[in-house]
A and B are shown apart, each in its own frame.
With several copies, the nearest count.
Chain A
Amino acid sequence: MEPNIKLKMTLPRIPDIELVAIEGLDRMARHMGIPEEKIGEAHVLVTEAVINAFEHSGQSRPVVRIEFTMNQEKLIIFVRDYGKGFDPGAVEQPDIDKKLSSGHKRGWGLKLMETMSDDLLIESDDKGTRITIIKNLK
């Protein structure tokens, strides 16, 4: 069996930098022959995790680390910021009916990550947040 392949990046905060992580993921996935449908879902996981890490972390000169570990069966995405952290349990579940009449339309990232992943672990404290996402590829 092909062993794990691994790609690590430390990203600067510039517009659309999450697309660089996606490009790396795409090359790995194509090399491993992963179905397009799984790759598309992994895009969502990466995009939402990286955007959150930059946007909510409250670092003055933010960097975000991302690591992909992939084999034929599984993709593990690890995203880390060095920001202020948060309590995932305290985040309200978004609901389209309420959003329609609310001024706050956002708040979908965590829900998308939870639904599209096979496992999601959030570790967060005042030193920052680490998100580990498992996505089955079969």
Chain B
Amino acid sequence: MEAEFALKTEVRGDVLIMATSGYVNNDGGQQIASVFEEYHAKGFSRVVMDMKESKVVNSIGISFLIEVIEKLNDNNGKLIFANLAPSIEKTLSIMGLFNYAAKESSVDKALAALA
């Protein structure tokens, strides 16, 4: 069974890494958006979303990522997803998020792509 949503953040140089675990529902999406906003206000514009520990998402949760992308676009920022489960990757793809964000198979590869 999918666990409750939780979010861990880590900063590596000028990159913000947000790692989700559990079900990315409405609350989860809101947490992502507000933690992002906090760092964005401090000037972070390069973000890795590590979703390794999430197997289930819903479209409400994910719609908050569109907000993240919008804000990053405004100042030439970049978002890279890492460790997507196949059904989450398909969800993001149907929503067209990969027109505005990249994906990599690991956090290390995402960091390398941002370097």
Contact = CB atoms under 8 A, between A and B. Distances in A.
Interface of A: 15-16, 18-19, 22-23, 36-37, 40-41, 43-44, 47-48, 51, 94-97, 99-101, 105-109, 111-112, 115-116
B64 A105 contact: yes
* Chain A binding surface SS class: helix
B112 interface: no
B59 A108 contact: yes
Contacts of B56: 19, 22, 43, 47
9 contacts: A18-B58, A19-B1, A41-B87, A48-B58, A96-B100, A100-B70, A105-B64, A111-B94, A112-B94
Contacts of A111: 94-95
* Chain B binding surface SS class: helix
B23 A96 contact: no
Size band of the interface chain B makes with A: 20 to 34
Given A97-B96, A99-B63, 13 more contacts: A15-B25, A19-B23, A22-B56, A40-B86, A40-B90, A44-B87, A47-B58, A51-B59, A96-B100, A100-B66, A101-B70, A108-B63, A108-B94
Given A16-B25, A112-B59, A99 B66 contact: yes
A97 B99 CA distance: 9
B62 to A, nearest CB: 7
A105 B94 contact: no
Nearest to A22: B56
B61 to A, nearest CB: 10
A51 B58 contact: yes
B90 A100 contact: no
A15 B90 CA distance: 25
Interface string B24-46: 01000000000000000000000
